[in-house]
Amino acid sequence: MASSEPKLVCRGVWKIFGAGGKSLVGSSSARLTSAELRAAGAVGAVRDVNIEVREGEIFVIMGLSGSGKSTLVRCLSRLIEPTSGDILFNGENLLAASEARMIEIRRHQMGMVFQHFALLPHLTVLANVAFPLEIQGVERAAREERARRMIDLVGLAGRENAFPRELSGGQQQRVGIARSLAVEPELWFLDEPFSALDPLIRREMQDEFLRLQSVLRKTIVFITHDFDEAIRLADRIAIMKDGEIVQAGTPEDLVLNPATPYVAEFTRSVARAKVVKVATLMRPLNGTLPQASIRANAPVAEAAPLFSHGAETLAALDGAGIPVGLLDRAAVVDVMMRG
């Protein structure tokens, strides 16, 4: 579970490509539309974005191609210089940091998996994963030891001496993930890390990723244009359109209360029962406790098979196994019927 401590705060961030970007943003009260920017010969790739990423959460940014996801995530580590706004990492104002300080932060505290990342073709898997540590000046035995641990973590133990060309696309992706983890980042940015994979391997990688996160508990900003992927992985999702965040919330929030028709369109094909939590449907405890139980934070879909054994009501349990409510068959059927 994510704590509520904000790890990364992004306030009023703009990125305008093209001439005169800074003067176009001007006083922060001006809120130029995409059309106004285009007319001025500029692209508003990121427009007045405000987000807070909490320690230990998976924060997913999703939106169609060109909506500004990659630009935003690069602004967060200042690989792209924002036109204006504030970015605070552990309370430190990154836009006031020197370039040397930024390099230190990126090297030691941030991990990145880029949308089109490349492994070094002439290096083995082990050397690829150890590479960022080599740059940090970590001595050989220590960096190889840590690299082996990361390779093991992503399920590639035994392939340390292979070269990238000898691996499948999914395996190469895992090497990229292991490499970005080698520095043990506090804040981990992943820009469409699975989008090049076919659907089956992609699902496997998502499971793998959730397993990794249950062990590592990183603070993660994950980009995807796939809503199914977003709801599988996210604690919270921010939906971008034309450089703006149109809505941010839990998957459940977005599906049940879409703020705009655009968000509703994304969420339309999602089975509600996979998103709505038992906790949302349960009623207060009273009387005797049913035998059968389910976790309160499980999606309702997981409760359905439990009713097939004849139970009318399930006990909903918190993370410590304490009953916190009751879930009725009728409430579950109702959600399933609505799709």
Ligand X SMILES: Nc1ncnc2c1ncn2[C@@H]1O[C@H](COP(=O)(O)OP(=O)(O)OP(=O)(O)O)[C@@H](O)[C@H]1O
| Binding partner of 68, given ligand X, Mg ion, none, CB within 5-8 angstroms per partner class | ligand X
Its sign, for the CA torsion 254, 189, 119, 154, is negative
Q: Which stretch binds ligand X (CB under 6 A): 58-66, 175-183, 248-256, 271-279?
A: 58-66
- Residue 328: φ, ψ to 5°: -90, 145
Q: Which stretch binds ligand X (CB under 6 A): 65-73, 99-107, 169-177, 209-217?
A: 65-73
**Stretch 72-111: interaction string toward Mg ion, x if CB under 5 A:** ----------------------------------------
**278, two tokens:** 């038992």
Q: What is the footprint of ligand X within residues 208-227 (CB under 6 A)?
A: 225
Q: What is the footprint of Mg ion within residues 114-173 (CB under 5 A)?
A: 115
Alpha helices in the chain (DSSP H): 21-25, 34-39, 69-76, 99-109, 125-136, 140-153, 169-181, 199-216, 227-233, 251-256, 261-267, 272-275, 278-281, 304-307, 329-337
* Residue 63 binds to ligand X (criterion: CB under 6 A): yes
What is the total count of residues that contact Mg ion (CB under 5 A)?
A: 2
Inter-residue long-range contacts of 124-128, CB under 8 Å, 24+ positions, other chains counted: 124/160, 124/161, 124/162, 124/163, 125/151, 125/156, 125/159, 125/160, 125/161, 125/162, 125/163, 125/164, 125/167, 125/175, 126/151, 126/160, 126/161, 128/164, 128/175, 128/179
- Residue from 13, 37, 45, 300 touching ligand X (CB under 6 A): that is 45
Q: Is 276 within 8 Å of 298 (Cβ atoms)?
A: no
**266, two tokens:** 């994304």
Which CB, 70 or 173, lies closer to Mg ion?
70
**139, two tokens:** 């001595």
* Residue 65 binds to ligand X (criterion: CB under 6 A): yes
| Binding partner of 6, given ligand X, Mg ion, none, CB within 5-8 angstroms per partner class | none
Q: What is the footprint of ligand X within residues 78-117 (CB under 6 A)?
A: 115
- Nearest approach in angstroms of CB 66 to ligand X is 4
Q: What is the footprint of ligand X within residues 24-43 (CB under 6 A)?
A: 43
- Residue from 16, 49, 68, 70 touching Mg ion (CB under 5 A): that is 70
- Nearest approach in angstroms of CB 246 to ligand X is 13
Distance CA 129, CA 244 (A): 35
- Nearest approach in angstroms of CB 126 to ligand X is 30
Binding stretches for Mg ion (CB under 5 A): 70, 115
